[in-house]
Chains A and B, each alone.
Chain A
Amino acid sequence: MSEQTRIIEDFATREYEHGFVTEVEQETFPPGLDEDVVRAISAKKDEPGWMTDWRLKAYRHWLTMTEPRWPNVSYPAIDYQAISYFAAPKKKLESLDEVDPEILATYTKLGIPLDEQKALAGVAVDAVFDSVSVATTFKDKLAELGVIFCSFSEALREHPDLVRKYLGSVVPITDNFFATLNSAVFSDGSFVYVPKGVRCPMELSTYFRINAENTGQFERTLIVADEGAWVSYLEGCTAPMRDSNQLHAAVVELVALEGATIKYSTVQNWYPGDRETGAGGIYNFVTKRGLAEKRAKISWTQVETGSAITWKYPSVILKGDHSVGEFYSVALTAGFQQADTGTKMIHLGRNTSSTIISKGISAGRGQNTYRGQVKVAKKADNARNFSQCDSMLIGDRCGAHTFPYIEIGNPTAQMEHEATTSKIGEDQVFYCNQRGISTEDAVSMIVNGFCKEVFKELPMEFAVEAQKLLGVSLEGSVG
């Protein structure tokens, strides 16, 4: 790990630590969901009246919806009345001894120092890192430029007009079952606003979010880049995360106004469940969508290695002329993991273009599905799309599936879709073996080469860690 990475890692952990420390005492609501619970959540957070109404509207609509069954994943039915929709922060563990030894082993492999390990695993640490100063410096610098980067609750208090203007403008409250549920009960999340013409000087990350708190299972992110602005946002981290909430239904909305650029990178490594039985893993049902106005650009990059079930389709609505959408994805399923992920590129404006590069890796008993849509509307003259979906299978008990949906309604559109499925060649592994590289390292190397196109889109620190992460996640599936 480079020095720079280490420094960032340090900051990261401290802030995470800080988030837990400053957490105010909260009670936990009893399980169940009705209008009173929605009102109570809103009241707890001291939200304005319109926000409460918005939540209630979402909740009432949610009651009329049914859970989607079309994804190519299977899981036992979720009892939505058995979930507590407002929970106190997790109880701190007393020491690292209480943490799953497998997770600890992974930390060691990723090279995470002991203190950070404690922080990540949610163990109470007495020594408080000096994070306040870091956070403050960071905040000052952003404030100078007028960039707003804060928690959602804070945004509602400090910038209610901005939130009201853009919230639900990309993912409406009627969008889909999980997004609507999120709209009704979301706990917290991040809000970013980059003013006109400002290039955000640093990569924004939830690591650094001031007053980070346990945002829980229903996270809401809203990023607005005003005309000509530029922002890069990082979400998640490579260290394995364990959470007592099995269902995660987050919503991310991106608004890129004329000429703006938003780059959104995700590394997701939630607990994937027991390697032998698949029990207990996280269900990650996420709705992510961006709206690109004239000449705007939205780029999604994701590395999905965790969760028992991943169900997400980061999408771009190319509304403005000359807007650009990109999607780069690596999804790895090992053990009993299932992933149904991909993207939607909706071309509405003229001269719009989109690129989709998706790399799926299946190992163990993993099931990996790419599902994507490219739609070119009637008036989207000269739309251009290039899609490539490659799958790699490791072992004979896994599956790789590709379901692209292509809808072209304009003759000037040019659309190309390619998909391939392959395995790691025995000759490739043999070649590495005879050069003294172990089979496991060889596979990790070949897989990293397979994913190179995506990794090069990640911010540098993330890319280094993502490579290491793939190797760790694949362990035990080769042989």
Chain B
Amino acid sequence: MDRTAAPAGSFVASVAEIIGRIEGEPDRLVDLRLEASRAFTAAGLPTTRQEAWRFTSLRALAETPHRPAAPADAEIADLTIPGSHRLVFVNGRLSPGLSAAEDLPRGLTLRPLAGALAEAAGPAASTIGGAVDLARHPFAALNTAAFADGALIHLEPGAIVEAPIHLLFVTVGDGEPTWSAPRTLVAAGAGSQATVVEHYVGAGGESLTLPVTELRLAAGAILHHVRLQEEPRSARHIALQASRQARDSRLDSVALNIGAGLMRTDIDAVLAEPGAHAALDGLYLVEDEQHTDTHLDVRHAAPHCTSHELYKGILDGRSRAVFNGRIVVDPAAQKTDAIQSNRNLLLSAGALVNSNPQLEIFADDVRCTHGSTVGRLDEEAVFYLRSRGLDRATAESLLTYAFAAEIVGAIPVGAVRERIERHLVARLPQGELAREAF
């Protein structure tokens, strides 16, 4: 281990030695944390010389020491989802007062990791960290080494939970740069069904959120998953979502990236057994100097699996979007059906898109396609609307709204859908009209 590489006053030096500890955590996790800490120290902060970070510079972060976020209070009144089961974490720590996790339906466990890890035979203790590739994801390694709490959602086999499960992570800054590492583990038993909303918000100050979410779907499980990130512009958000799916399971996941000055989301999806299906969609809505980076890595490891990805982006101001979608089809994964699409709409002259869809295919009996488009609104469509009496601003707002609607309309939780619609309305010059017209 080469600790001399991190100069004092750098980000790495400020976070490298921190190893978290949760009361009663299993030895396996203690070892894993050490391994993760070593992995992070060895790798250091990624630079643009590394392929996976080529278009996302962390130079500003590298020179900013961060300290762990201190406990704080938060106000969440307008953030709740009516009728949901809810856990709220403020700066990575459970806030029991804000949470609402009593009266849970049968078969659902929703509790902080802190208690759950102490149960040696429980799902948390036995599986946590299993889906995370520490070598490829230095920030996930940092999270693994340091996380002090997080959420566990466990569904008994056959459990069907109607109400959405809302995990709200609030980052409250205090002037100095702080960081937190929330952790989520969702273990869906065979044949279970649920809807989970991961929700990241924040207030004030320079902050860094490094969430890691593991999704494990047993045979036949169906999981609807929404990832909503609306942190303030002063925040950086670098997340990993790692999923692993067993036979005939179905994951419908949508990532909505709206907030933060710098956001990077890595999504690792493994289709491990035949018949699994993953739909990984996303929308990024960025403006000003925002920088969004999505790295999808979908691995087909078994035959007869399907994966569909649709990522749409709307860019304004001097924002920049990076999309890197990789589909790997293993030699064993015959009859794979994989479709990936990345569509970008540029609203301003200063916006920049890097779209890199990738296919790596080692099986011959497959159907794999990817497509990528970048452009502005279709002038003919604008003309058509204008010929019907709409002014330019309204016509463009309507078309932009419609562009996003394909993703927004499919969000399974009404309250989240409305939040996104409000964001869209706020960003478009004639957004309110567009929403009404739509």
Binding site for B on A (CB under 8 A): 70, 378, 391, 393-423
Contacts and interface: CB of A to CB of B under 8 A. Distances in A.
Interface stretch (B67-75, B76-84, B194-202, B344-352): B344-352
B127 interface: no
A405 B357 CA distance: 8
A419 B359 contact: yes
Contact of B357 (A393, A416, A417): A417
Interface in B311-354: 331, 334, 344, 346-349, 351-354
B294 interface: no
Interface residues of B, number: 34
A404 B353 contact: no
Contact of B354 (A407, A410, A418, A421): A407
A108 B333 CA distance: 40
Nearest to B349: A411
9 contacts: A391-B359, A395-B364, A403-B358, A407-B352, A410-B346, A415-B374, A415-B375, A419-B357, A419-B359
A400 B359 contact: yes
B355 interface: yes
Interface stretch (B265-273, B365-373, B401-409): B365-373
Nearest to B331: A396
Q: DSSP class of B's interface residues: helix, strand, loop or mixed?
A: strand
A421 B374 contact: no
A378 B318 CA distance: 12
A415 B373 contact: yes
Contact of A423 (B356, B364, B374): B364
B354 A406 contact: yes
B356 A70 contact: no
Contacts of A413: 346, 374-375
Contacts of B363: 393, 396
B353 A421 contact: no
Contacts of B369: 418-421
B346 A402 contact: no
**3 shortest A-B CB distances, which residue pairs?**
A411-B346, A393-B364, A408-B374
Contact of A408 (B344, B359, B361, B365): B344
Given A411-B347, A421-B369, A422-B367, A404 B376 contact: no
A416 B373 contact: yes
Contacts of A396: 331, 334, 363-365
A223 B420 CA distance: 55
Contact of B376 (A378, A397, A403, A411): A411
A450 to B, nearest CB: 14
A408 B370 contact: no
A412 B364 CA distance: 38
Contact of B372 (A391, A399, A404, A414): A404
A402 B357 contact: yes
Contacts of B51: 70
B360 interface: yes
B45 to A, nearest CB: 21
